[in-house]
Structure 1
């Protein structure tokens, strides 16, 4: 069922930020963005023969907002990385259209997990990783919609939201795993130092 991954991830993030996450400035905006994305996911803006999902516009704006404080030099690098993500998404989508037998060999979620790993290797800050994935996927969706259905197309439908939510979930989960492992390493390091001093 299209959209199920998107709703599970958005509600999960909302529950985490609202009830579990400690007080931070990010808490309000993250929970607010999740609720707005859920509300907007069923709404479409019609421009001539084009249907644009309102949640797609929200995600694109969030992605651009995450990049707003980057320096020009870093911004140039992030643009190159996001173009690489965009091209991977387009190549996979086009190839599966003309060679659908590849779906029997490569699961699409494994492919998007590979994109996630590429972003983790090329970009370090957590917010920038999210921004690169969001902007890269949004622009790829826009390009693919125009190329495939230039007369009547939908930008940001539920399969797109599922893929974007899946990558967002992987990125957030990886960030928390990295933070927990770092804190655990520091705790163990302090305890071992304390034993040596005794």
Structure 2
């Protein structure tokens, strides 16, 4: 069922941000609000010319542009290059799926999650940067892919539930990878703390 993974991951993130994250965290309310708005807009769509666009994907793209615009000029240029790389990879993935579907060896969403998650990890060092270039790049790829398909008799809805499933899975994998990266620092800090406590007691 399309959209199931998207709803499950988004509601899980919203519950975590609302009830488990420290209330002093400055990003907590913003991220919670963004997730709720995306969930509300997921069933809304509109037609722009010959293209059918789901409002949730367009909202995510606008939010990414807003966050990127707050960075320094050099960082903005690098973000643009990274998102362009992701966009090209996203379109290439879908075109290969149409013309040579044999290489899709397991579920497409998981292949996309692993491929684009790994690409984001290579291009950006922070979780924020990885999420921004992934969402921005894949949404730009959606528009480019829809434009490519418009020359053929293939109907395609931009940022539909299939896209939202893949986008949510990529985000979840990136968050999981970031947690693993930071786990080492967390354990080391607490290990040193307990080690110092033992030395004082002895």
* TM-score normalised by length of structure 1: 0.90
Q: Distance in 1 between matches of 2:112 and 2:139?
A: 17
Aligned counterparts, 1:4-153, within 5 A:
4-23=4-23, 24-103=25-104, 105-108=105-108, 109-150=110-151, 153=156
Once the two structures are overlaid, the 10-residue window that deviates more, 178-187 or 165-174, is 178-187
- 1:14 deviates by 0.8
Alignment equivalent of 1:178, drawn from 178, 181, 187: 181
1:154 to 153, 157, 162: 157
Q: What are the Cα deviations for residues 90-146 of structure 1, in whole angstroms up to 9, with x where unaligned?
A: 11110110111112x354313431221121122112211111001100000010011
Q: When the two structures are aligned, how many residues end up with a matched partner?
A: 197
Displacement of 1:176 in angstroms is: 2.8
Aligned residues: CA RMSD = 2.0
Match of 2:46, SS state, is: strand
After alignment, is 3-12 or 44-53 more displaced? Answer: 44-53
Shift of 1:44: 0.4
Instruction: Name structure 2 gaps, 5 residues minimum.
Output: none
What secondary structure does 1:67 align onto?
Answer: helix
Q: CA deviation at 1:196?
A: 6.2
Query: How far apart are residue 19 of structure 1 and its match?
Result: 1.2
**Whole-angstrom distance in 1 between the partners of 2:116 and 2:58:** 22
**Contact 1:66 / 1:128 at 8 angstroms: preserved in 2?**
no
Distance 1:4 1:185 in 2: 38
